[in-house]
Structure 1
Amino acid sequence: MTLRLRLGEPRDVLDHPLGVAEIGFRPDLTQQEYLSRGRGPFPGDVGTHPERELFVAGPGDVVRAVATITTIRPHGDQFVVDGELVADHERVGTTLLAPALKNVFSCADEDSAWAESIERVRWLYVRALVQIATVKTSSFDRRFDSMDSAADPAERLARATEAMQVVPRYVMIHRSGKLRLGGPFADTADWDNHVEPWTNYGYVDCLRIDDVLGDGADPDVDTLRALTSRTAAAQLLASMGWDNVIRRFVDSRIPAP
């Protein structure tokens, strides 16, 4: 079960039990700051709470932070939640599902709703694209930073870009949701020097960087750096048509006649 809180309009507070000076939603906060504002106090007594996670949401019920609950303790006739932030949890950036949040705070079985949702499938592809972009831009940065700072800037840029283009070229997506980077070819996978179809290992689709950004010239680092953002990656994939993007994964879950 999940304890869910929607942050409201920001306002200053005095003598807050958790020591914060302002509560409510602002769009530019970190995940840790959202968590600090979303721990309560909540109405009710401590009692017995089966919740294992805390989701802090903002406008549109978009999840901004997720924490593993460690303690639920009383504060007068209310209670507050202690927890550990799960940085970049897969639900950050998604919407609450089970059911839509009608009150400021509620409890629901988000895990079950998420496991069977189309939104989860879409988010697998978002994570896959972010993973490619992150690995590639990290390769660029490592190569660029390793070169002599006195070297010709154009040469440093060219060599870092060359390093970035090598791998990965795609992410294989397993029916379980597991992701595996690969490249340069998407129709085979090298498993301990044995080249076999990736479908033999339960992978049902392959997100190719060329399919996303178009064949032809290799993508530049600025384009890829933008795609390290889940929001930007989701927007790009949505522009391609979600039905087309996730078709193979969805089809793999339909029982054969």
Structure 2
Amino acid sequence: MAQWLSGTVTDNHHWHANLFSVKIQTSAFDFTAGQFVRLGIDTHDGRVQRAYSLVNSPGNTELEFLVSTVADGKLSPLLQQLKMGDTLDVSQPASGFFVLDEVPAGDNLWLMASGTGIGPYLSMLGTTQLWQRFNHVILVHSVRTIADLVYRELITQCQHQYPGQLHYQPIVTREAHSGALSKRLPELIQSGELQSACQQSLTNRSQVMLCGNPQMITDTKAVLEGLGLTKNLRRSPGNITVEQYW
């Protein structure tokens, strides 16, 4: 049964007007990279709570969450306004099966995300399991604007730490950006442009994790299935592991 821990905000970094990362100090607890917890704030109308994936890796002393502000949302605008020293509640234990333990072996691992769906992958980057299991890890982040390309410093650090093992491919659909592709993710896979840019194959010997908005997942999954990849289920291991992010 879930319990609630009291947390104290240690940082609230605004990437732009509608995207921010909040760090929270709580009592230590274990989790697996890719899992989520619930954040809760008490209001005059009762507790408001929502699930968010942990961005920090296991073992870090602070919890971190990447949040997109929803204009008419009940919780995200409140989280955006939090300042250092403010308090909120964090559910424990963490939940979810969008974790590396659920992913079969493969020639390479594609981590495909749209928007804040990159969060679970950032947590995985800080684990030894990821690098020990897969010789080639391809992180694909599809966003609308350049300002949405978050945590680039962290990603670059990982590329230096694991040279030749991590390929980062940004996709920016509404602005031109050096090094970024510009079409929708399913189109880039269908045409082979993504595979060419990353210099990696996408076959039934690959593993793909998908996290982000439902339409991206539906369309990308259909294209991948057209290439011979199958959905990964516990009763029937395959190639495509999915997390519906909202």
Tell whether the structures are fold-level matches, with TM greater than 0.5.
no
Q: Which has the larger radius of gyration?
A: 1
Give the structure with the higher percent strand.
2
Q: TM-score, normalised by structure 1?
A: 0.29
Q: Which has the higher contact order (CA 8 A, sep 6+)?
A: 2
